[in-house]
């Protein structure tokens, strides 16, 4: 980390002074270092940045060699189409930087195999410009270019004694878990409301057999940044499929950007500095649109801004780190002071926490309540109580809404329509039962309903038996559904009554 830190700050200073290390006097015509000029530059930067001169000389020589390599690589690429690719490898047990020559018309899987062979790695993913490379696609199709910097993510390995088949099974399991998550969200998005709201949870984690499971606390706290980054980038791909206007109305996308940069920081991926800057800028812009200038919109909606303070604390900390690595110490100090002030505001008095815990509130409620009310215990009690009531009211309202929808679907099913058609019609009618009924009656017109259109044999039994009930009668297409339903129920009751009379006539007279 220290070596990368020094190099990053030196590069920033070289850019400011427009110094090019790959040309004279810093590099001779034979490609050797100009030792006198390099030592002089190292001494100068050592005084400015405060690092030992030997460390500065080592870092400058590494930067110079990379620049010379890039220059010769550009020439080679023009002549042979063989690209120079720089890799940042996992930090444990490997030299962090690695270089490889490759054509760009091969698949990412071919490149993965090369890296695995040269660096003795097993399970890896490649990231370029914040995107995970698809193994089956060519490199040039995924914006990989000459001199691209590629981050290597090392996924979790099985135990050493396990066989190769188990290793492959684990990789398949990783891929399948992503597919299961995606399938789960697809199922949630396709629910039509016909499920029983009392027995069907909206979102629940289950095992392979479908049994609900509880995640142990120690598992929740594991910090696997390699795998986390992989999943977060997958989530970002799904987010990008959403309407851009939607992404600026909720803060989820901004929080996702913070999480990605936080993983970059934990993995010490300083080569992704440019990508990190762009992500933090996206996060800040999203927060501004969601919360308003000075969080005024958030204050108006929630009545406080304490709960979101932690997000801004993370944002300011990451921004201070990036501007520091970019050689802008004054800006870094400003951001760090801003972070410190916010941290002091968000820090909680343990005695006040204990007061709320003794009242039966959970640790999370107590923490969020105190932050929302700036440490005022009495106000926090009111806030927590109010928030609990609001949450319960929202849950009850949603349960009632889903129950009413289920009842409406069942009502249509009682008339003979199949469950799926009834649910689709109700969805098309935005929950209006009368309108859903009219839509189902008009199913004979395919253009009007599309996929809901039914054949004559699919139509409800009462319409097949009494076709005039769905055409020719004024109430069939224009009267309120309640009138039609009432008429049908009256007919059913009359039939039931007549059947009862007939059965009484057939019974022998009892003495």
Nearest to 269 by CA among 93, 11, 8: 8
Beta carbons of 188 and 203 less than 8 angstroms apart: yes
The string of pLDDT tens digits covering residues 301-323 is: 777 666 788 889 999 999 998 88
pLDDT of residue 498: 63
The string of pLDDT tens digits covering residues 198-243 is: 445 555 544 433 444 454 545 444 567 887 888 888 888 888 887 7
**Which residues does the chain have with pLDDT short of 50?**
159-164, 167, 197-199, 205-213, 215, 217, 219-221, 444-458, 461-462, 464-479, 509-511
pLDDT of residue 490: 60
Collapsed DSSP state (helix, strand, coil) of residue 218 = helix
DSSP 91-160: SSSS-SEEEEEEESSSBHHHHHHHHHHHHT--SEEEEETTEEPPTTSBSGGGT--TT-EEEEEEPPP--T
Beta carbons of 307 and 383 less than 8 angstroms apart: no
Sorted by sequence, the CB contacts under 8 Å of residue 85 that are 6+ apart come out as 99, 100, 101, 102, 111, 144, 147, 148, 150
Structural domains present in the chain: 1-79 (no CATH), 81-157 (3.10.20.90), 224-347 (no CATH), 415-506 (no CATH)
Beta carbons of 120 and 143 less than 8 angstroms apart: no
Nearest to 87 by CA among 277, 273, 275, 271: 271
Tokens for 284, please give them.
């800040």
Question: ω into residue 25 within 30 of 0, thus cis?
Answer: yes
Q: How remote is the C-alpha of 139 from its chain's centroid?
A: 25
Tokens for 168, please give them.
């492959």
């Amino acid at each position: 980390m220290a070596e990368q830190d020094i190099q990053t700050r030196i590069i920033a200073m070289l850019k400011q002074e427009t110094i090019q290390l790959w040309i004279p006097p810093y590099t001779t015509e034979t490609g050797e270092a100009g030792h006198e000029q390099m030592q002089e530059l190292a001494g100068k930067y050592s005084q400015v940045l405060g690092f030992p001169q030997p460390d500065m000389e080592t870092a400058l020589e590494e930067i110079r060699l990379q620049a010379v390599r890039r220059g010769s690589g550009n020439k080679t690429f023009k002549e042979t189409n063989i690209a120079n690719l720089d890799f940042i490898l996992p930090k444990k047990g490997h030299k962090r930087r690695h270089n490889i020559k490759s054509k760009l018309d091969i698949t990412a899987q071919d490149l993965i195999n090369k890296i695995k062979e040269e660096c003795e790695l097993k399970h890896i993913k490649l990231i370029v410009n914040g995107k995970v490379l698809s193994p089956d696609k060519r490199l040039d199709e995924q914006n990989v270019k000459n001199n691209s910097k590629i981050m290597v993510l090392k996924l979790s390995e099985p135990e050493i004694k396990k066989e190769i088949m188990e290793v492959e099974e684990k990789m398949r399991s990783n891929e399948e878990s992503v597919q299961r998550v995606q399938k789960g969200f697809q199922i949630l998005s396709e629910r039509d409301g016909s499920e029983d709201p009392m027995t069907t949870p909206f979102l629940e984690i289950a095992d392979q057999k479908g049994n609900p499971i509880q995640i142990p606390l120690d598992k929740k706290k594991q910090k696997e940044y390699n795998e986390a980054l992989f999943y977060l980038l997958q989530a970002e791909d799904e987010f990008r499929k959403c309407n851009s206007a939607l992404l600026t109305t909720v803060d989820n996308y901004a929080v996702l950007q913070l999480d990605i940069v936080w993983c970059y920081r934990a993995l010490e991926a300083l080569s992704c500095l440019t990508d990190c800057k762009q992500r933090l800028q996206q996060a800040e812009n999203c927060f501004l649109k969601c919360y308003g200038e000075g969080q005024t919109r958030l204050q108006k909606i929630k009545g406080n801004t304490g709960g979101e303070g932690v997000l801004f604390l993370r944002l300011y900390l990451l921004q201070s780190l990036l501007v520091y690595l970019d050689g802008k110490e004054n800006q870094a100090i400003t951001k760090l002071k801003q972070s410190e002030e916010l941290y002091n505001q968000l820090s909680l008095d343990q005695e006040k926490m204990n007061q709320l815990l003794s009242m039966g509130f959970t640790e999370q409620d107590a923490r969020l309540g105190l932050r929302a009310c700036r440490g005022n215990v009495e106000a926090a009690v009111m806030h927590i109580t109010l928030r609990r009531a609001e949450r319960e009211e929202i849950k009850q309202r949603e349960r009632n809404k889903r129950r009413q929808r289920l009842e409406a679907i069942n009502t249509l099913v009682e008339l003979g329509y199949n469950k799926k058609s009834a649910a689709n019609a109700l969805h098309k009618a935005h929950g209006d039962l009368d309108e859903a009924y009219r839509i189902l009656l008009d199913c004979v017109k395919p253009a009007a309903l599309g996929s809901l259109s039914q054949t004559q044999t699919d139509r409800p039994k009462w319409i097949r038996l009494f076709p005039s009930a769905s055409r020719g009668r004024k109430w069939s297409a224009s009267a309120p559904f309640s009138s039609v339903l009432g008429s049908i129920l009256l007919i059913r009751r009359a039939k039931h009554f007549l059947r009862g009379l007939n059965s009484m006539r057939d019974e022998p007279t009892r003495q």
